[in-house]
Amino acid sequence: MDPKGEELAAVLAEIRQRVRARHPNGTVSGGIQIPDLTPLLHARDAAEGKVASIGSVNPRPPGLLNSTIQRLKRLVARALDWHIREQVEFNRAMVACVQSTIEALNDNNRAMAALSGRIEQLREESHDLRNQAQQMVDVRTHWSQWRVDWEQKLAANEIHFLKSIAEMQSAFQHRVTLMDANYREQVKQHHGNFEVAMVRQSEEIHKRFWADLDRIRTDYESVIHAELRLARQKASLARTTDPAAGHAASNVPAEFVNIDWLKFAEKFRGSEEAVRQRQQMYADRFRAHAPVLDIGCGRGEMLEVFQQAGIAARGIDLNDDSIALCRSKGLDVEKADMFTYLSSLADSSLGGVVCCQVVEHLPPERLPEMIRLLHEKLRAGALVAIETPNPECLAIFATHFYIDPTHRHPIPPALMSFYLEEAGFGRIEVERLYPAVEAMPSLAELPEAFRKDFFGSLDYAVFATRLP
């Protein structure tokens, strides 16, 4: 065969295949016949040929006559062009419509071919699903049979397991009961032995402690009493040789000179810490009234309160033991009679005076004299505070006032306020201190109004300001 012929046959086969792909023909899945568009294509081609020949002249053999006839035909065709233009446009539109119809039918054939392929694919998938469903039915059948056997075996195993657990729990509970009883018995025995040992040890420790405490207390009291006795002997010797000192101590009766007043204060007034706690209120009152004089400073609790608050203060007292104790604390104190000491001060030299538990020791006629001296020695605006037992509280006469043998008589708050007002003090304020019910809880059984009127506060303090 000629090679060029083979090549031409191959090109024609390829063109035919492309045309068939573009214009499918024949049948699709299910034996459905696809319309054949070849006649329509031939008709379209013939129509396009006719449309293309409109306005042309048929060819003739050459010659003068033919040329003349051809020219005449062209003139006639050109002259009739306006008349046949619409027909030409219509023919061309119809050809375009046929072309569009062919394209639509080709698209329809292609869609049907694609749909046929998809339907075939779905048929294969449905066949697979049908096989799987059949397998699932078989599995379900086998599962139902296996489940019955499995439930029977599970019930038997569960019963056997629960029986074993119950037996083990019973054995464990019995063993726990035995161990608990044994443990409780051992703990009880050990606890009893421990309590016996603790009691025995505690008794021994208490015996040794109290024995040591009694011995230490005896030694301590012996040393203290010996030192105080020696100090009082020295003070008595000094008083016999110093008339001025004897005059200063004239306010204390001779029969009470040798009493241990420090021990007396510790026993009946309270510890120094307790007294300082009660006297903290004076620091707030006298913060702007320095220097302050503490008349009858005793063990120095008030001076310590002022020292901690940064308030300049000094004290006077007649008791040698108190003076020695205050000086051992580094406090500014002096042994002096209050009247003598106040008389020696310059007028208006004091910013404040505090006198706690002193005026009840004075003769009645000397209290106004002391208040007049305070007025002279205090500057204008200075503050004075006088604290003394409160005779409005009947409880002090049964328990507190007459414990101190040097007390002369109580001074009512109204009388103390009157003396201060007469001497030239103003802004007088009475503050009642230390409710009696705290020291004697049995007073709480009395009616409240009666208790307040007759068993109120054990002490009171009068605060007054020196008027200009």
For 268-284, write each residue's pLDDT tens digit.
576 778 888 888 889 98
Mean pLDDT of 207-224: 78
Q: How many CB atoms lie within 10 A of CB 374?
A: 25
Domain boundaries, the chain: 23-139, 253-466
Residue 415, number of CB atoms within 10 A of its CB: 13
Tell me, what's the pLDDT at 267?
59
CB 297 within 8 A of CB 322: yes
Q: Phi, psi at residue 388, to the nearest 5°?
A: -160, 160
52 vs 388, more confident: 388
Place of tokens 């998938």: 125
Q: For residue 264, give the DSSP letter.
A: H
Torsions phi, psi for 173 (to 5 deg): -65, -40
Contact in structure between 389 and 359 (CB atoms under 8 Å)? no
Closest CA to 236 of 220, 221, 222, 256: 256
Q: What is the mean pLDDT of residues 318-338?
A: 89
Mean pLDDT for 82-89 is 72
* CA separation for the pair 216, 206 (Å, rounded): 15
Quick check: 242 pLDDT over 80? no
* pLDDT interval class at 159 (50, 70, 90): very high
- pLDDT > 90: percent of the chain: 26
Averaged pLDDT for residues 191-203: 89
294 falls in which pLDDT band (50, 70, 90)?
very high
Residue 367, CA atoms < 13 Å, CB-side half-sphere: 23
pLDDT digits (tens, 9 = 90+) for 386-401: 999 988 887 777 677 7
The closest of 383, 361, 228 to 306, measured between CA atoms, is 383
What pLDDT does residue 375 have? 92
**Mean local confidence (pLDDT), 146-170:** 90
Quick one: tokens of 290?
A: 């320095």
Beta bridge partners of 298: none
Tell me the average pLDDT across 280-299: 90
pLDDT-derived band at 248 (thresholds 50, 70, 90) equals very low
When the pLDDT of each residue in the chain is averaged and rounded to a whole number, the result is 80
Q: Just give the CATH number of 253-466.
A: 3.40.50.150
Q: Is the pLDDT of residue 257 over 60?
A: no
351 DSSP assignment: E
pTM of the model: 0.47
Residue 207 has pLDDT above 80, yes or no: yes
Confidence tier at 168 by pLDDT (50, 70, 90) = very high
**So what's the pLDDT on residue 138?**
84
Q: What local confidence, expressed as pLDDT, does residue 295 receive?
A: 94
CA 343 to chain centre: 64
Report residue 454 as tokens: 């007759």
pLDDT at 373: 93
Over 50: is that where the pLDDT of 240 sits? no
How much of the chain is helix, strand and coil, in % rounded to 5? 70, 10, 20
Q: Distance (Å, rounded) from C-alpha 280 to C-alpha 301?
A: 10
How buried is 201 (Cβ within 10 angstroms: 0-12 exposed, 13-18 middle, 19+ buried)? exposed
Q: Average of pLDDT values for 194-212?
A: 89
Most confident residue range from 34-48, 275-289, 433-447: 275-289
